[in-house]
Amino acid sequence: MISGKRIQNRRFSAITAILLLSFFIILSAAGCSKRTDSNSGTGTGTETNLPTADTGTEETDSDTPGSIPGNGSASESPAASSGIMKVHFIDVGQGDAILAESGGQYLLIDAGENTQGDAVCRYLRSLGVSRLDYIICTHPHSDHIGGMDTVISSFDAGIIIMPDVIETTRTFEAVLDAISAKGLTITKAAVGTSYALGSGSFRIIAPNGSGYDDINDYSVGIRLTNGSNSFLLAGDAEALSEREMLESGTSLSADVLKLGHHGSSYSSSDDFLDAVDPSYAVISVGTGNQYGHPSSEILASVSERDIQIFRTDRQGTIIFTSDGNSLTVSTVLGASSTNSSDPSTSSGPVSDSGSAPADASASDAVMAGSEPIDGNVIVHTTKTGKKYHSAGCIYLKSDIAATLDEALTRGLEPCSECSPPVKQITN
Ligand SMILES: [Zn+2]
Ligand SMILES: [Zn+2]
């Protein structure tokens, strides 16, 4: 009898526990969607919803509290509750500086040249950053780590990841000095290691070897994911390191690829582009840089694959927002840059390329802040090409002016390199 009562009590408390548990799960789900809501929109620039290539899930907007599919079952896995992740390709002129944030955690990858350190700090402060949970110095070239001593001196930092290579430059030594002055340590990049970042995570995928002739091949590469969205970022890694990433068998597919080495022809080999198979490519590059980045050969090979290109020298700071399913992009000219702003790019919306499936872009076509484009706006076409362009595009061999309506009537599609005006789909 006593034992019977105990069993009943136990059963009762088990039921209470389950009820309590489901209550907390519902509470935390509500908390998640609240955080999602308050976290939207930073820039004052152009904002566009992007169709993501691989997901079959159609719904983009998660404004409503009911967006997390809940059927009340406490045994549901938490797979559907991805938070927001933002990835900022900060315009630092010729160089790289990338900030990823999610759930109040921050990862900074590179900080541009020495002269850009203060601008990067200002940008971070404008976002309310006080601590960088992770810092990655991809490789010891000055256009990547030049500003990092200033950043490390100015912010609290957690894990600092670097490749196992030493440069005897004053710039590199200044970074090491800043690290030891703060009593911090260096974590050597180890391929296969994953780190949590808010609702997502990143995994080290390069460098896979050592003894490289070229410092660029030491670049730390990561694949950053949030739900079904992913970013592949690998500093200045060139074809040799790209081949090693391919041979490692790790997953390389990504929605967004930062083209290696500022779009130079030593990176972005065909096999690598095919394996990553991105919808969007970002080139972090300075206006009129002395190296001729990006290479026209690479621009052509990216364009052939219908990958839409974003460039910091033309669009300024480029910010992707992931909700775990879909991506939105916004661009802010002159946020922190030494890049001179090109007036022709600040007017037109940065918009989706013709490669997107029509109904995906229709459901995503809430282009916040963009005016409907007038069909009489002048675009530029060529004699035989299947695309139309903005003035000055490198693919404009023969330059024939036409209105946007005429170009569309001829079945031409927007060039993915120069992002000419597009019409919003209305249905
Ligand atoms: Zn570089
Ligand atoms: Zn480099």
- Please tell me the distance between residue 233's alpha carbon and the centre of ligand 2 in angstroms: 14
Ligand 1 geometric centre to CA of 326 (Å) = 29
Q: What's the pLDDT tens digit per position in 134-164? A: 999 999 999 999 999 999 999 999 999 999 9
Residue ranges of E strands in 22-130: 46-50, 85-89, 98-102, 105-109
Backbone dihedral region of 146: left (phi > 0), alpha (psi from -120 to 50 degrees) or beta?
A: alpha
State the distance from the centre of ligand 1 to the C-alpha of 291, rounded, in angstroms. Answer: 10
Cα three-residue angle 165-171-175, rounded to 5 degrees? 70
Query: Which pLDDT does position 401 carry in this prediction?
Result: 77
**Contact criterion met (CB below 8 Å) for 221 and 232:** yes
Residue 369 has a pLDDT of: 27
pLDDT of residue 272: 98
Q: What is the pLDDT of residues 48-72, one digit of tens each?
A: 677 654 433 333 333 333 222 333 3
CA of 261 to the centre of ligand 2 (A): 6
- C-alpha–C-alpha distance, residues 62 and 56, integer Å: 16
Å from CA of 240 to ligand 1 middle: 16
Q: 192 C-alpha to center of ligand 2: Å?
A: 23
pLDDT tens, per residue, the chain with 427 residues = 344 344 344 444 544 444 444 444 443 433 333 333 333 333 345 666 776 544 333 333 333 332 223 333 333 333 445 799 999 999 999 999 999 999 999 999 999 999 999 999 999 999 999 999 999 999 999 999 999 999 999 999 999 999 999 999 999 999 999 999 999 999 999 999 999 999 999 999 999 999 999 999 999 999 999 999 999 999 999 999 999 999 999 999 999 999 999 999 999 999 999 999 999 999 999 999 999 999 999 999 999 999 999 999 999 999 999 999 999 999 998 755 556 444 333 322 333 332 222 222 222 222 222 233 456 667 777 877 888 777 767 677 777 777 777 777 777 887 766 667 776 432 2
How many angstroms is it from 219 CA to the middle of ligand 2? Answer: 8
Domain 85-359 has CATH 1.10.10.10: no
pTM for the complete prediction? 0.66
Q: Calculate how far, in angstroms, residue 236's C-alpha sits from the geometric centre of ligand 2.
A: 5
Burial class for 395, CB neighbours closer than 10 Å (0-12, 13-18, 19+): middle
Q: Note the ligand closest to the C-alpha atom of 214.
A: 2
Ligand 1 centroid – CA 269 distance (Å): 17
Say if residues 42 and 127 touch (Cβ distance below 8 Å). Answer: yes
